[in-house]
Chain A
Amino acid sequence: MASYFNEEIETLPRVALEALQLKRLKATVKRVYDNVPFYKTYLDALQLSPESIKSLADLHRLPFTTKQDMRDSYPYALFAAPMEEIVRIHASSGTTGKPTVVGYTRTDIDNWADLMARTLMTAGAHKGDIIHNAYGYGLFTGGLGVHNGAERLGASVIPISGGNTARQLMIMQDFGSTILTCTPSYSLFMAEEAMSAGIDFRNMKLRVGIFGAEPWSEAMRGEIEEKLNLTALDIYGLSEIMGPGVAQECFEGKNGLHIWEDHFIPEIIDPSSGQVLPEGEKGELVITTITKQGIPLIRYRTRDITCLTYETCVCGRTHARIARLSGRSDDMLIIRGVNVFPSQIESILVGIEGVEPHYMLIVDRKENLDTLEVQVEVDERIFSDEIKVLQGLARRIEKEIKDMLGVTCNVKLVEPKTIQRSEGKAKRVIDNRKL
C-alpha cells in the first residue's frame, strides 16, 4: 500500500476536495482583486467581482493569465503581497528577453516544502533515502524546490546541482544515493558518461529517478530505466505556479501525475479557442493557484499539452491526474500545416531498435516549402559497413515518421556525440525559417 505524507488530504473524497477548492478559490480571487491592479482592472472590465464566484464552474468566467502578462508585469507588478512579506524571489529562464519573476511569502515557501515532500513520498521516497538533487540551484526553482521538500520529508539531500558529471557519478557511487532528481535528458547523458568511464549503474544504490522540467516519452522512460537501473517517474512543476511539486506520478500507479488539487485547480482548454475541454481530451493545461500569497495566478496558461482524469488511482489518492506532457503549445512545430511535437518524433526514434534518443530537428523553408531534417546519431548498435543497410535505416525512420505523423522528413545520420548534449533542458529543435 502507498504511504502518504498527508493521508487525509491526499485521499480526501472529491466532494470534500471540491468544497475546499471553492473556499480557497474565493479567497484567492478576493486577494488578487484587492491587491493586484492587473486583476482588478480585468475583473471590473468583465463586470465580475470576488462575489461572482459561487461555484467552481464560475472559474471558467475568469480571464486567463499568460506568460506575456507576466512579462508585462516585470518584475513585481503581479505580486499580491508587500515586499516586506516576500522572503524569496525566483525567476524562470527568459528565452526571449526578460525572465518571469515570482515571489514567495513564508507561507508559500512552507506550503511548497510540504507539497514537494508529498511529491517525493508519492514517488516512493521516505526518511532514510539519500536524494541526489541534480536540478540546478539558483534562480531556477528546480534545485531549491526539491531541496526544501527533501528536508521537510526528513530524507538526506545532496545539493549537487547540475554539471560536472564525472563528479556527480563519483558522489552518487560513494555516497550511496538512492533517489536521483534531474532532467530526463541529463540522466541519459550521465548514463553515457558512466559507460565511457566504465561505471555500471547496477552497482549503484539508486532505486528511483524523479525526472522533469522537460517533456519526455514513455519510450525514453524504458531507455532510462534500463540504462540507470531504476524506476523512472515523471514530475511536473513550473516556477510561475510554484516550482517542482505541482504534480507527480505515483510509484504504485506509474500512470499519470497527481496534481495537488488542494492547492491548484487544473483545467484543459483548446489552445486556439480557449474553450474548456471535457475530461480525457488533450489540450493546454491551465492552472489556478488557490493558496499562493506572493503571486497567486488565475487561470495561468502553462502552454503544456496534456489531458486530465479524475478516476481514483490504484495508490488511493483522489487528486486528478494529468497525462505525461506531450509537448508545449509553443514548442509545437507546424510543418507544411501538420502539427508536430518533438516528443512524437522522439517516441518513434526510441521505438526503432538501436536508435539513440539523441536527435535534433532542423526546420527550414526552401522555395516556400517547409523542410524537416531529423539528425540521428549512428552508434555501434546500428552501424553497418554496408551503405544499403544504413540507407535502409534512414528510409525506415522517414517512413515511420511519415506514417505516424503525416509529415515528410529527411533523416540525416550523424556521427555519435555530434549533437549537443545538455546538462539542463535539452534543445531539440533548430528552426531556421524566417517567417
Chain B
Amino acid sequence: MKVEQISIFIENKSGRLAEVTTILGFAGVNIRALSLADTSDFGILRLIVNDREKAITALKGKGFTVSKTEVVAVEVPDQPGGLASILHVLDKDAINVEYMYAFVERCGSNAVIIFRFDETDKAIAALAAKGFNMLSGEHLYGM
C-alpha cells in the first residue's frame, strides 16, 4: 500500500520551479499531486506523477538531484473531523507525520491525503486495523 513519490532539490531562485515543470511537460509526465517545502535558500518539490521513471530520467538529465520516497495515500471522509479521525489513530500509536498534502482528485466521495510517516509500515498496519482505505500506486498514478 505504499506509493512512490519523487522529490527534487531546487534552489530558491526565480525560474527554477518553472524549469522543473517545463522539463516534465516536455517529457509528457503528468503531475497528479504536489507539495513544495521551502526555506530561504532552497526548497524540496515533492510530486506524485503518472510516470516516475520518465520523470526521474528527464530531471536527472537536466542536472537536478532527484530521489524517490515511499509515502502512503489514505482515503479520508470528506466531512468535518475526517482528517482528525486519521491523525488520532496515528497519535495513539506514536507515529509521526513528517509531512502531508492533499491529492487533487477525489476517490468517490472521499478526499485523498498523501502522508510521509516516520514509520511507514506501522502506520499502514494501524490505519488498516481501523478500517481506513489506502490506495495502491497503480490506482493513484492512473487517477
Identify the A interface with B (CB < 8 A): 378-380, 383-387, 390-391, 412-418
Return chain A residues, CB-CB under 8 Å to B44.
385-387, 390
- Would you give the shortest CB distance from B10 to chain A, in whole angstroms? 7
Contact residues in B for A384 (Cβ distance below 8 Å): 67
B91 within 8 A of A: no
Are B9 and A378 in contact, CB atoms less than 8 angstroms apart?
Answer: yes
Chain B residues contacting A380 (CB-CB under 8 Å) are: 65-67
B63 touches A413 (CB 8 A): no
Residue of A nearest to B46 (CB): A385
Known: A378-B65, A380-B65, A416-B63. A385 touches B7 (CB 8 A): yes
Please indicate the chain B residues that have their CB under 8 angstroms from the CB of A412 in the complex. Answer: 41
**CA distance in complex: A387, B39 (Å):** 8
Cβ of A196 to closest chain B Cβ, rounded Å = 9
Alpha-carbon distance between A126 and B11 when the two chains are bound, in angstroms: 49
Assembly CA distance A378 to B16 (angstroms) = 15
Measured CB to CB, the nearest residue on chain A to B37 is A387
Contacts A378-B9, A383-B9, A390-B42: A415 and B98 contacting too (C-beta < 8 A)?
no
Q: A385-B46, A386-B99, A418-B11 are in contact. List 20 more A-B contacts (CB 8 A).
A: A378-B65, A379-B65, A383-B7, A383-B9, A384-B67, A385-B67, A385-B69, A385-B116, A386-B116, A387-B37, A387-B39, A391-B39, A412-B41, A413-B42, A414-B11, A414-B42, A415-B9, A415-B16, A416-B63, A417-B63
Contact A383 B65 (CB under 8 A): yes
Q: Can you pick out 17 interface pairs between chain A and chain B where the beta carbons lie within 8 Å of each other?
A: A378-B9, A378-B65, A380-B66, A380-B67, A384-B67, A385-B5, A385-B69, A386-B98, A386-B99, A386-B116, A390-B9, A413-B11, A414-B11, A415-B11, A415-B16, A416-B63, A416-B64
Query: Is B69 touching A416 in the complex (CB atoms < 8 A)?
Result: no
- Which residues of chain B (31-54) have a CB below 8 Å from chain A? 37, 39, 41-42, 44, 46
B7 in contact with A415 (CB, 8 Å) = no
Provide the residues of chain B in CB contact with A416, threshold 8 Å.
Answer: 63-65
Q: B67 contacts which chain A residues (CB < 8 A)?
A: 380, 383-385
- In the complex, how many angstroms separate the beta carbon of A402 from the nearest chain B beta carbon? 18
Inter-chain CA distance A390–B41, complex, in Å, is: 11
Q: Which B residues have a C-beta under 8 Å from some C-beta of A?
A: 5, 7, 9-11, 16, 37, 39, 41-42, 44, 46, 63-67, 69, 98-99, 116
By DSSP majority rule, is chain A's interface helix, strand, loop, or mixed?
A: loop
**Are A415 and B99 touching (Cβ within 8 A)?**
no
- Chain A residues whose CB sits within 8 angstroms of the CB of B66 once the complex forms: 380
Query: What is the minimal beta-carbon distance from B60 to any residue of chain A, in angstroms?
Result: 9
In the bound assembly, the distance between CA atoms of A378 and B12 in angstroms comes to: 13
Whether A415 pairs with B65 at a CB distance below 8 angstroms is yes
Question: How far apart are the CA atoms of A383 and B65 in the complex, in Å?
Answer: 7
The distance in angstroms between the C-alpha atoms of A414 and B13, with both chains bound, is: 10
Q: Which of A387, A391, A414, A415 contacts B64 (CB 8 A)?
A: A415
Q: Which residues of A contact B39 (CB under 8 A)?
A: 387, 391
- A378 — which chain B residues lie within 8 A by C-beta? 9, 42, 65
CA distance A21 to B56 in the complex (A): 64
Q: Are A415 and B41 in contact (CB under 8 A)?
A: no
Contacts of A413 in B (CB 8 A): 9, 11, 41-42
Q: How far is the CA of A417 from the CA of B65 in the complex (A)?
A: 10
Across-interface contacts of B63 in A (CB, < 8 A): 415-417
CB contacts (< 8 Å) of B69 on chain A: these are 385
Q: Which 10 A-B pairs have the closest CB atoms?
A: A385-B7, A383-B65, A385-B69, A378-B9, A387-B37, A417-B63, A415-B11, A412-B41, A413-B42, A383-B67
Question: For residue B41, which residues in chain A have a CB less than 8 angstroms away from its CB?
Answer: 412-413
How long is the Cα–Cα vector from A386 to B66 in the complex, in angstroms? 13
B37 cross-chain contacts in A, Cβ below 8 A: 387
Bound complex: CA A274 to CA B11 (Å): 46
- CA distance in complex: A418, B10 (Å): 11
CB proximity of A119 to chain B, nearest CB, Å? 38
A413 to B98, CA, bound (A): 21
Report the separation of the CA atoms of residues A417 and B11 in the bound assembly, to the nearest whole angstrom. Answer: 12
Nearest-CB distance from A92 to chain B (Å)? 34
Shortest Cβ distance from residue A146 to the other chain B in the assembled complex, whole angstroms = 33
Determine the chain B residues whose CB is within 8 A of the CB of A417 once the complex forms: 63
Contacts of A418 in B (CB 8 A): 11
In the bound complex, residues from chain B placing their C-beta under 8 Å from that of A391 are 39
CA distance A412 to B11 in the complex (A): 9
B10 and A415 contact, CB distance less than 8 A:
yes
CB distance from A394 to the nearest CB of B (A): 8
Q: How long is the Cα–Cα vector from A413 to B41 in the complex, in angstroms?
A: 7
Q: How distant is the Cα of A418 from the Cα of B65 in the complex, in angstroms?
A: 12
In whole Å, how far is A279's beta carbon from the nearest beta carbon of chain B? 46
- Chain A residues closer than 8 Å to B11, beta-carbon distance: 413-415, 418
Q: How far apart are B41's CB and chain A's nearest CB, in angstroms?
A: 5
Nearest CB of chain A from residue B69's CB, rounded to whole Å: 5
Centre residue among A378, A415, A418 by max chain B CB count within 10 A: A415
